[in-house]
Amino acid sequence: MKLFEGKKGLVFGIANDRSIAWAITQELHENGAEMGFTHLPDKDPERPKSENRLRKLVDPIGAKFVMPCDIQNPEMVDAVFDQAKESFGKVDFILHSMAFAAIDQLKCPVYDVSREGFSLAMDISAYSLIELARRGREILNPGGSLLTMTYLGGETVIPGYNLMGICKAALESTMTYLASELGPEGFRVNALSAGPLKTLASSAVGDFSKMMKLYEAFSPMRRGVSPGEVGKAGMFLLSDLASGITGETLHVDGGYHIMGAPPADADEE
């Protein structure tokens, strides 16, 4: 029997085929999960680029529904959960993979971030998890799970990650408080912290090729990680195999996060 046979869930935040959320979705699908998906609202309904991009990925795997969702619009979020109730009744998992900061706010030093830019980034990148948890507890089955995406820049300074690092720190703290509050109801909340992958988000952060070289040189495994490895870890956290795990940030980065200094052979060719 497949791990997710008969299980249903919601996936928020697949941007394209390089998204970590897509890597996790593929593993969930392979293990029997049924899912509904959301995309950013398209500005031009006649040319629904976001919807078409998502449908190209999820229609072939039997998406139960595909809907627009602006996480800052409560009516749109309510509509997604209403559709989930209609399509599934109850769900077993919710995957949260949403983050945003205006590019000028990401590129500037933290001391130059505007109040408006800070508020927008925090709202979409951290508060959105609270939005999903509030509504999710009404439709999650016992043992249900929420999973969010984070990065090491939320724990320690990663030059170039800037404002998003602050948002991820808030997200990780939010995750732990939600895990504490929802635990008595039988729900789990965790975070997945992946090493650098070539995603839409990573393209906005610093020199990606330099970061990859650092991971290959500094991590105990002397390499980066693959989308498949990250996808499997995300699937694990959402599955019953992780039934005793909550409030956890699981690092899938070849061990890079444990290193306090470069290994002795880091500069060897």
Catalytic residues: 151, 161
Q: Encoding tokens for residue 50?
A: 């976001």
Contact criterion met (CB below 8 Å) for 26 and 211: no
Q: What is the dihedral of CA 185, 188, 189, 194, to 10 degrees?
A: 180
Measuring CA to CA, which residue among 205, 187, 188, 186 is closest to residue 197?
Answer: 205
Neighbouring CB atoms inside 10 A of 148's CB total 30
Contact criterion met (CB below 8 Å) for 126 and 170: yes
Alpha-carbon distances of 245 from 3, 139, 140, 180, 265, rounded to whole Å: 16, 20, 17, 12, 35
